[in-house]
Amino acid sequence: MTNLLWLRRDLRRHDHPALAAAADGADVVALFVLDPGLLERAGGARRAWLAATLRATAAGYEGKLVLRIGNPRAVVPAVAAEAGAVAVHVSAETTPTGRRRDAAVQRRLADTGVDWVATGSPYAVTPPRVVNKQGEGYKVFTPFSKAWLDHGWRAPAADPERLRLLELPCDPAAEQWLEQALTEGPQELPPAGEEAALDRWAEFLEDGLTDYDGGRDLLAEDATSRMSPHLKLGTVHPRTLLADLAGRTGEGAQRYRTELCWREFYADVLWRDPDSLWHDLRPELATMDYDHDEQLVQRWREGQTGFPVVDAAMRQLLATGWMHNRARMITASFLCKDLHEWWPIGARHFLDHLIDGDVASNNHGWQWAAGTGTDAAPYFRVFNPISQGQKFDPRGDYVRRWVPELRHLSGASVHTPWDAADGYAQGYPEPIVDHAAERKEALARYQAARGN
């Protein structure tokens, strides 16, 4: 008997319930489908990260990972038939797009008598299991986090006692896509794959966890775990991380659990309100007045705003496919509240480029910054891009790394080049807006929308 394991956001061998279920009493064909519909808008870093991860995953699956390119609605039933599979095993999908796709594939498989088996998910607690006493979901993080902790999660899944992987030919077009993606990607991608994820996690537990709570916001420091790209593609499961954090009571461990909980919270919110993926979660600001200045938005995308920490972050994103979480908040606030643009414009740009671009976390994080999301009263929170840079990049090292036009300025003076006689000597642009004036304008617009 043969089962087909369709890998998606679970590119690993260990702590993999769907793999264990597929291998129970059957041979296994492991498949990954490159969907052009999802890949055509992805930036170079995002495509390269997927390609590198697939290369590592293939090695972990004894070189027998089957790669095909095309619409999964057609590809998965075709490969199931080719393999003679009696069932297709997956990790359950939770996003609106993924759920619609899976429902369509499941219907096509049913027509041919092939079973659909979903086991596990990309989350420690699969949405929508966390509920209040009335059996309803949460719209605010703090009560969700308490209920999430009370609910708990299973221990990491055991590896299959027996795993016999069968091999099918890969699609030459898929192999060509991998080669091209790796060639066109940036040079600063982190090591990819399950082994690299576990090595990075072990390093962070040893050297970074203790000081995580105090140092995680410092832009120039390597003080975060960098696990988000691995969680995105499932080369490590959050349950594995939580198991390693069990019994650790320090502030760093507590803060890290909280950050993992934020990821699960946003996935739960999206499950319950699929429209929040691209529409305001809170209706109070439905009449908000937005600008539509493509020229200014493009300056933001390219890191040419004249605000050093904003530009450093946006250039880091373009160069590496990653951005520090504090920088994400700063740049999002700038687009929404200094440039008065609707948050989906920024959310789409981030998803196109971030190697850890998770739609639930990304889009609801943007709504948090914009004031349309789960936070109770964020409309008056306007990040000052100057003071944020001074506070979280106090020596200016982050800005100097990513904005070479300001490397001649020392220390924190990089954050205020307009105060230096030679601040613009290397061609750095002047600010495209007056932050103080735009802050007042943002607050006025928010007040007007709330009044309406």
pLDDT digits (tens, 9 = 90+) for 218-237: 999 999 999 999 999 999 99
Domains (ranges, CATH) in the chain? Answer: 1-121 (3.40.50.620), 122-154+193-272 (1.25.40.80), 294-451 (1.10.579.10)
Buried-state track 127-151, b at ≥16 Cβ within 10 A, e below 16: bebbeeeeeebbbebeebbebbeee
Euclidean distance between CA atoms 424 and 408, whole angstroms: 10
Q: How far is CA 294 from CA 271, 297, 339, in A?
A: 32, 5, 10
Instruction: Tell me the per-residue pLDDT of 54-75, one tens digit each, with 9 for 90 and over.
Output: 999 999 999 999 999 999 999 9
Those residues with Cβ within 8 angstroms of residue 18's Cβ, 6 or more apart along the chain or in another chain: 5, 10, 89, 90, 91, 117, 118, 119, 120
pLDDT recorded at residue 397? 98
Among 60, 21, 376, smallest CA distance to 193 is for 60
CA–chain centroid gap for 259, Å, is 13
CB 286, CB 450: distance < 8 Å = no
Instruction: Tell me the percentage of the chain whose pLDDT exceeds 90.
Output: 90
Residue bearing tokens 């300056």: 299
Res. 376 pLDDT band, cuts 50 70 90: low
Kindly state the helix (H) or strand (E) to which residue 29 belongs, with its residue range: strand 27-34
Instruction: Enumerate the known binding-site residues for FAD.
Output: 212, 224-228, 256, 259-266, 356-358
Res. 187 pLDDT band, cuts 50 70 90: confident
Instruction: Tell me the per-residue pLDDT of 94-126, one tens digit each, with 9 for 90 and over.
Output: 999 999 999 999 999 999 999 999 999 999 999
Instruction: Enumerate the known binding-site residues.
Output: 212, 224-228, 256, 259-266, 356-358
